[in-house]
Structure 1
Amino acid sequence: MKLLAVDSATAQLAVGVCDGNGEWRRDLLDHTAHAGRLPAVVHEVLTEAGIAARDLDGLIAGIGPGSFAGLRTGLGFAQAMAWALRIPIVTVGSLECMAATLLGHAGTKLAVPVLDARMGAVYLGVYRGAEDAPECVAPPEELAADEVSARIAGIRDVPERGIALGGNGLLLDGADALRDRAWAGFTPGLFPTAAILLAIGRRRFASGAAVDVDALRPLYVRDRVALTAAERAAGATLGIGAART
């Protein structure tokens, strides 16, 4: 099965192609907008694989959470290709993709990806299971950066050495203190990768988990990133997940 995977929700642009014989991947860490790069990178990887877009059997799309602009770029691109080529699509969340990498660490029983959500907040989830089939224990949520330690400390029945942490949210004030404890893994440079997108995506296609392209929706987690003029005039500020005064 010839598949294309695309994720641009985070600071790392991940593009991958696979067929029955091999994989061709790009993971490009770039803190600027992905919009101008994505089509060229997809073309480059497809050319390297020797696969024409018209020969693709399916698409794997990253659905977030992450940057609003980056997420819309990648998801819109994948959705447009699926419509144009009339091929099915499966989705992979940013945090579950990161969790899959963490679940590959020896001794890991739980994976906790922590992604910088900006504005002093993080996106955090809790997962268990296999590398290519992470199972969500606690769904993605938005937390203040200084609440991360307490949230992880609240995980019961699994000792620290059985928990793997990863993601740039671990480098924020209030979370970096976690670094020196005895984890199964601590990987602050972790982002979604093309290899994991392809691994999870292949499994989902095999299980018949394709989604309706018309109903495809991003996983924002955070509802708002701006205030109305009236809210600004009233002195409101954006808190965790909503405007507050």
Structure 2
Amino acid sequence: MSTLLALDASSSACSCALWRDGEVLSRFALTPREHTRRLMPMIDELLAEAGLSTADLDALAYGHGPGSFTGLRIAAGVAQGLAFGLERPLIGVSTLEALALAAHHQLHVRYVVPALDARMNEIYVAAYHCRDGELTVLADEAVLPPEGFELPDERRDVDWCGVGSGWTLWEAMPARVQDALAQRLPERQPSAEWMARLAARAQARGEGRAPHEATPVYLRNEVAWKRA
């Protein structure tokens, strides 16, 4: 087994989590515009509780997005700096995938649509089928207006759970999307706790990368580039 530290600042929440031999310790706080000030003390506090130092870490992970551009850069920068100094692999984790995994475990739902408010009247969104702790992508991550979102055609007859701040734009979504939702939880935020679990799986598959390859996933930049 291994010891892994995960960081996230992709939303108004700031969090970090320590995965150690299958057990997870975490810190989570709603700290809008205070991520730079709060993240490092949270890391120090978490390591102290576990009786570890950064030298005991086998890998670093971070929420690579989508999410707040500034927040993504903060988490990526801190994780990258630690990984460089420790000469450890670095793992980027999807914020939407982490939201879906959390909903699956905590709410026992199988079909999840995580969505985050992307501002400019757009949402970051994806869709997953969750079973026995494993996620299958049913709709790839995208950034689009809420009225343009559609559920996968073959799964419109199941009960969906919508999680994340993107669901504050619920009223702008198509009626067939609204009708398919059994519940929606717009207050849910991405958390490093679930990113640590996903990162540990990625590490076991040998998916850690060199620190200089840390790259936030903005989605909106990719769309603008393709249109250009």
Asked if Structure 1 and Structure 2 have the same fold, meaning a TM-score greater than 0.5 normalized by the shorter chain, the answer is yes
Judging by fraction of residues, say which structure has more helix: 2
**What is the CA-CA distance between 1:147 and the residue it aligns to?**
2.9
Residue in 2 aligned with 1:233? none
Listed one character per residue, the Cα deviations across residues 3-61 of structure 1 (whole Å, up to 9, x for unaligned) are 11101111111200122274221121222241111111111111111111111111111
* CA distance in 2: counterparts of 1:3 and 1:101, whole angstroms: 18
Residue in 2 aligned with 1:236? none
**What is the CA-CA distance between 1:138 and the residue it aligns to?**
2.2
Whichever residue aligns with residue 117 of structure 1, its letter is A
Residue in 1 aligned with 2:108? 106
Residue in 1 aligned with 2:154? 157
Listed one character per residue, the Cα deviations across residues 58-91 of structure 1 (whole Å, up to 9, x for unaligned) are 1111100111111000001001100000111222
Kept after mapping to 2: 8 A contact 1:132/1:196: no
**What is the CA-CA distance between 1:145 and the residue it aligns to?**
2.9
Say if 2:214 is the partner of 1:216. Answer: yes
**What is the CA-CA distance between 1:103 and the residue it aligns to?**
3.0
Kept after mapping to 2: 8 A contact 1:90/1:204: yes
Aligned-pair Cα RMSD in Å: 2.5
What are the ranges of 5 or more consecutive residues in structure 1 without an aligned counterpart?
225-239
Q: TM-score, normalised by structure 1?
A: 0.81
If asked which structure has higher relative contact order (CA below 8 Å, sep 6+), I would say 2
**What is the CA-CA distance between 1:157 and the residue it aligns to?**
2.1
Kept after mapping to 1: 8 A contact 2:6/2:193: no
**What is the CA-CA distance between 1:180 and the residue it aligns to?**
6.9
* Bigger Cα Rg: 1
Residue in 1 aligned with 2:195? 197
Kept after mapping to 2: 8 A contact 1:100/1:130: no
**What is the CA-CA distance between 1:218 and the residue it aligns to?**
0.9
Sequence identity (%): 29
**What is the CA-CA distance between 1:223 and the residue it aligns to?**
1.3
Say if 2:86 is the partner of 1:58. Answer: no
Kept after mapping to 1: 8 A contact 2:109/2:130: no
What are the ranges of 5 or more consecutive residues in structure 2 without an aligned counterpart?
none
